[in-house]
Amino acid sequence: MAKILALRLVRLIATMLAVSFLTFIMVAFLPGDPVNAVLPITEERTPEIEAAVRAELNLDKPVITRYVMWLGDVLQGDLGKSFVTDQPVAETIKDRLPVTAQLAVMSIGLALLLAIPIGVLGAYKQGKAPDQISSAGVQVALAVPNFVLAVFLIRFFSIDIPIFPAGSWNRISDGIGPNLRNAFLPTCALALSQMAVFSRLLRSDMVNTLREDFVTSARAKGLSDRYILFRHALRPSSLSLVTIAGINIGALLGGTVIVEQIFSLPGLGRRLIAAIGVGDIMVIQGITVFIAFAYVVINTAVDLFYMVVDPRIRRG
């Protein structure tokens, strides 16, 4: 077990290095001169001033040197400063992350809440009408892109029946009620396709569990179907469900971009798009690397969790 842990850790660090290097290189080749982002057009510009700015930003050094310097800073928690707003990137992330994380967690929660009964029902009534109807529904849900759903939700629930406002945001600290009203539609938009994936997964795992001997013996003991389904069969069937849900937390940190954009939410993704628009290198690479790191770390954590829960995997 210790050996596996050490191996995973080495792999994790290697992946993070590779990811940060790739991001840095990519961003370093962004078209446009970062100096333009720093110096206002109105300001006087001489080659000397431009050179001074370049030296200040270390842009006069080779890419590799810059990468090593930047990585050193990153390890100390310093992701640099935005060229445009002068705000430290770490502060931006701290500011924006709660919004994105809230959407990620809430949408996964909602998806699980809907997916568990649907998946269990499908497995219980396997091949019968309820299963066929829910499977068909799941297939349709899988085909609806989140941005399409978001636009439809805005039409129905912000315009036709204006109960959920779109285009504004209240922090949790401003009161939980207004916050939830803002967060509800984006959460739904993100939850639908996850619900489909989750319930499909749970259904197929549960179908296998229901064939096991312990289910037959529970039935022989005369336990009710509901008790067997939710008390005996659900837990052993939910391993891959929990894994995917965990991985989704990481994936959604980047995956909420478009929904944040549609609902004008002050999250990480929208900040990233804004930074791309003005070529704000530090913010682009800071946020990208942060999201990728979070994704990799969460995936590793989920893998390890999986090993702890299921001893069979430890050897494989």
Partner 1 sequence: MTDLRNPQTATTDDIEIVAGTSPAPVAGSPGAPRRAGPLEIFGSMPITIKLATLWLLFVVLGAIYAKLDVSVFGGALPLQDPALQNNGFDAATGEFRNGEPNEPMSADHFLGTDVLARDTFSRVLHGAWVSLSVSISSALIGVGIGGLLGSLVGFLRGRVETLTMAAIDTILAFPALVLLLAVISLFEVRSLLLICALIGFLSIPTYTRVARATSLAVSNREFVLAAEAIGTKPRKILLREILPNVLPVLMAYALVAAAVVIVVEGALAFLGLSVPPPTSSWGTMINEARRDIKENFFQVVVPSMAMIFTVLSLNQVGDWFQRRAAHRSSAL
Q: Which is nearer to partner 1, 119 or 279 (CB)?
A: 279
Could you tell me if 35 and 279 are in contact, meaning their C-beta atoms sit under 8 angstroms apart?
Answer: no
Near partner 1 by CB under 8 A: residue from 258, 274, 301, 304: 258
Q: Which is nearer to partner 1, 238 or 299 (CB)?
A: 299
Taking CB under 8 A as the rule, does residue 295 contact partner 1? yes
Taking CB under 8 A as the rule, does residue 267 contact partner 1? no
Taking CB under 8 A as the rule, does residue 292 contact partner 1? yes
Near partner 1 by CB under 8 A: residue from 71, 101, 244, 276: 276
Taking CB under 8 A as the rule, does residue 30 contact partner 1? yes
Near partner 1 by CB under 8 A: residue from 3, 29, 47, 316: 29
Distances 144 to 130, 138, 160, 190, 249 between C-alpha atoms, Å: 22, 10, 21, 11, 20
Q: For residues 41 and 302, what is the distance between their CA atoms, to the nearest angstrom?
A: 49
Other Cβ atoms within 10 Å of 235 Cβ, number: 11
SS3 210: coil
What residue type is 146 in one-letter code? N
| Runs of H (alpha helix) within 125-212 | 129-142, 146-154, 176-209
Minimum gap (Å) between residue 294 Cβ and partner 1:
9
Minimum gap (Å) between residue 213 Cβ and partner 1:
24
Q: Which is nearer to partner 1, 232 or 246 (CB)?
A: 246
Q: For residues 74 and 66, what is the distance between their CA atoms, to the nearest angstrom?
A: 12
Taking CB under 8 A as the rule, does residue 299 contact partner 1? yes
Q: For residues 254 and 272, what is the distance between their CA atoms, to the nearest angstrom?
A: 10
Other Cβ atoms within 10 Å of 142 Cβ, number: 13
Residues in touch with partner 1 (CB under 8 A)? 11, 14-15, 18-19, 22-23, 26-27, 29-31, 139-140, 142-145, 147-148, 151-152, 154-155, 159, 250-251, 253-255, 257-258, 261, 269, 272-273, 276, 279, 284, 288, 291-292, 295-296, 299
